[in-house]
Structures are given as structure tokens and as C-alpha cells.
Amino acid sequence: MIEEISRIEAEALRRVDEVAAIDDLRLLESDLVGKRSPLAEVKRAMGRLDEGQRAAVGRRLNAAQRAVSDRLSARRAELEAVVLLGRLEAERLDLTEVRSGRDAGHLHLVTQVIEELEDTFVGLGFTVAEGPEVEDDWHNFTALNFAEHHPARDMQDTFFVDLGRPREVLLRTHTSPVQVRVMEKRPPPIYSVMPGRVYRNEATDATHLAVFHQLECLVVDRGITFGHLAGTIDMFTKAFFGEGFSSRLRPSYFPFTEPSAEFDIQRPDGSWLELGGSGMVHPNVLANCGIDPEEWSGFAFGFGLDRLAATRHGVGDLRELMSTDVRILSQF
Ligand code: FA5
């Protein structure tokens, strides 16, 4: 009987090795280890043996069953690997094709502007700071001296987030809350710029987006005056745009600066581009951030980056900056 088992085992192993497809292996498996397999027949026949013989045959039978199942598992793994390789090969995407060509892609126009402005300001001795896009009322409004029910809060139409108390959590409407975060975190002197995405609940048109970008500049030090503000704006204008450009300030109102001014830049052809808002940091804002307004003073300005990028590249409609159309994107 032991010889019979050896013969069945050798035959079974040979058949496993010969199988070439995973489905055939499944069929073979039930032939070799199923209830009607030759080894199962042997097991049934063992009942007729006496006890001494039965132990020896039983050990041999177990070894044969294990050898056959081990060979089945090994062959299954081999065949599954072949199937997987075939599938990977069939579904392969050659991504290098996209990367190596002339149309290899580039940074978005606004990202290019942000990186250039950061370089310009870092060159002037500023650090770069960031803040969250989901803000709270304190940083976006209250710390910036927007009175609770003052209409100034409606200057910037706000997207509120359904979280916490009503109107407590919102998508920041400007980058000015990052000023507050910077002042809360570290003591003056502060020379920082803060670029980022902002959100306003506005109808979009050629000059307005609901999601756009600003860059904020904040300086807090001893003896800072309006002259430093005007001088810094003019210096950055020339460093970023070139010597042919200049800037001007016009009186305006923001709750967080006093006095406040809008600022424009003049192109070499004499035309003006309205860029952003500015002013001396309001003493209430300094105090709200734990800075003594008797000892320190500062200026801040903030401007729109999308209008800047669009003007520079002659894009007439800001909405085109949001386009995913390759015919538009590949022009820049
Ligand atoms: C502000 O957001 C102030 N935080 C700016 C500021 C900073 C003032 C520091 C004083 C001190 P304003 O809402 O005017 O100000 O927006 C500033 C600039 O963002 C605008 O001049 C414009 O360039 C850009 N901007 C405003 N709304 C939109 C919009 N819907 N789409 C695209 N750009 C916009």
C-alpha cells in the first residue's frame, strides 16, 4: 500500500507541474485532493489493515497529502503571478511620454506670481508666513477691529461654515487674518508677507472671482511711519515689475488700518492698475494681538494676485485663470 501511495503521489506531482492555466489547476485540485481522489481511496482502504500496518501507512499517506497540497499552492502562486504580470502589462500607462515632450506643463500663472513675489520680498529681508483657509470670526473680523454689527463686515461677502456657533467659522475673506496670527505668535519686530487663497460669496465676472488670491504684507517695529509704507510699496513695485513702474496711494477706509489707502501702480505707458489696500495698523489691532501700541507701530498692505497675473499676461477675463482648457493653459 505504501508503494501505491508513492506511485499516486509521483503521478499527482507530475500533473501539478504540467498545468499551465489557473482554471485547469482548480479542476485538477479536486481530482487530486477531493473526496474521490486516489489518495482518498487509499484512506478508505486503510480500514482493512491491522493496527501496526495502519500507523505506518497513515504516516506515509499524510506526507503524500501534504506534498501534493504544498505543490498545488506553489503552482497556484506561480500561475497567479503570471496572470498579474499579464494584466499589468496590458494595462500599462506610459507616463514618461507626457513628461518628456515639449508640452511638459508648468506652474499655474498665479503660483508663478506667488513664487516671484516671495523671492522679491525675501530679497528685501521679509519672512513668508501662512495661515488656515478655514478661519474663525476672531481672526478674520473681530481682532481686525470690525465692530460686531458694523456694516464693514458686509464689505466682504462671507461663506460661513456650518460648524460651531452661527457665523463663527468661515472661509477667510482676505489674507489679513494671517497678520493677526503672526502678531499673536511672535513679538515684534515683524517683517512678513503672507500669500494665500481667499473666498468671497460674490457673483463672478471678468474682474471678480469667488475664489482668488491675495498677498499680505505686515511690518511692525519701533518708529514705523506712513513714509515707510509708501516707500516699501514703491520699492516692491520696481523690484517686481521693473524700473519703469511707479505707485500711488489714495485715501480709503479699512477698519484695521488708520489712516487707510488704496494703492495703484502706474505702467510705463502711463495707465494705472488698482492693486490693493493698505494703511497703518490700527492701534486696536495691535492691542488685540497683545502688542503695546504705545511702543510699536506698523503698516500693512494686501493686494489681489489674480488681477496681477491676468494683467501681466494680457488675460482679459479672470475666469480664464480657472480654466482647465489646455488650449488656454499652454499659451503661458
Ligand atoms: C482687502 O481684502 C484688505 N484685506 C486689504 C488690506 C490689507 C487693506 C492690509 C489694508 C491693509 P479689498 O477687499 O479691497 O481689501 O481687496 C484687496 C484686493 O483684492 C483688491 O484690490 C483686488 O485686487 C482683489 N480682489 C478683491 N475682490 C476680488 C475678487 N472678487 N476677485 C479677484 N480679486 C479680488
Residues 183 and 257 both lie in one domain: yes
| Pair 135, 239 in one domain | yes
| pLDDT number for residue 152 | 64
Phi, psi angle pair for 136, to nearest 5°: -110, 165
Ligand 1 centroid distance, CA of 156 (Å): 9
Predicted local confidence at residue 102, as pLDDT: 58
Q: Could you tell me if 73 and 211 lie in one domain?
A: no
Number of domains, the chain: 2
Backbone torsions φ then ψ of 224, nearest 5 degrees: -75, 135
Whose cell is 504580470? That residue is 85
Q: Report residue 275: phi and psi, to 5°.
A: -110, -45
Residues of the chain with pLDDT > 70, as a percent, come to 95
298 lines ligand 1 (CB under 6 A): no
Count of alpha carbons within 13 Å of 105, Cβ hemisphere only?
Answer: 9
What are 288-306's pLDDT values in tens digits? Answer: 999 999 999 999 999 999 9
Helix 51-90 to helix 38-45 angle (10° resolution) is: 160
Closest CA to ligand 1's atom 16: 276
Of 303, 306, 327, 330, nearest to 316 by C-alpha is 306
Which atom of ligand 1 is nearest the CA belonging to 179?
A: 9
pLDDT higher than 70, residue 106 = yes
Q: Residue 76: is its pLDDT beyond 80?
A: yes
Structural domain for 131, as ranges: 109-329
* 86 and 135 inside one domain: no
Evaluate if residue 316 carries a pLDDT over 90. no
Angle separating helix axes 2-18 and 38-45, nearest 10 degrees = 160
Tell me the mean pLDDT in the region 22-29.
Answer: 89
Sorting pLDDT into bands at 50, 70 and 90, what band is 101?
Answer: low
Residues 272 and 309 in one domain: yes
Tell which one of 307, 308, 311, 322 to mutate to probe ligand 1, the residue whose CB is within 8 A of the most ligand atoms: 307
104 part of a folded domain: no
Q: Does residue 97 surpass a pLDDT of 70?
A: no
- Judge whether residue 84 has pLDDT over 70: yes
Sorted by sequence, the CB contacts under 8 Å of residue 100 that are 6+ apart come out as none
Within a domain: 135: yes
Q: Which residue's C-alpha comes closest to atom 9 of ligand 1?
A: 301
Decide if 262 is inside a domain: yes
Ligand 1 center–CA 76 separation, angstroms: 65
pLDDT of 260: 98
Do 280 and 182 reside in the same domain of the chain?
yes
Clarify whether residues 138 and 253 are in a common domain.
yes
Alpha carbons 209 and 307: distance in angstroms, whole number? 10
pLDDT at 108: 87
Q: Which of 60, 90, 120 is the last residue of a domain?
A: 90
**Considering the chain, what percentage of its residues have pLDDT values greater than 90?**
56
Same domain? 63 vs 116: no
332 pLDDT exceeds 90?
no
Beta bridge partners of 221: 297
Residue 61 belongs to a domain: yes
**Model confidence band, residue 103 (pLDDT cutoffs 50, 70, 90):** low
Report d(CA 216, CA 295) in Å as an integer.
23
Please indicate, yes or no, if residue 59 is contained in any of the structural domains: yes
The Cβ-side half-sphere exposure at 324, using a 13 Å CA radius, reads 0
Q: 188 and 159: one domain?
A: yes
Which pLDDT band, with edges at 50, 70 and 90, does 218 fall under?
very high
Mean pLDDT along residues 211-219:
97
Residue 315 has pLDDT above 90, yes or no: no
Q: Quick one: which of 158, 98, 106 has its CA closest to 133?
A: 158
* Mean pLDDT along residues 267-276: 87
Whole-number Å distance between alpha carbons of 10 and 20? 18
Summary mean pLDDT of the chain: 90
pLDDT, residue 281, reads 98
Q: What is the pLDDT of residue 241?
A: 84
- Name the CA dihedral angle for 123, 124, 129, 130, rounded to a multiple of 10 degrees: -80
- pLDDT tens, residue by residue, 167-201: 899 999 999 999 999 999 999 999 999 999 999 99
Considering the domain boundaries, does residue 139 fall inside one? yes
Task: Mark whether 36 and 147 lie in a shared domain.
Answer: no
Query: Does 65 share its domain with 136?
Result: no
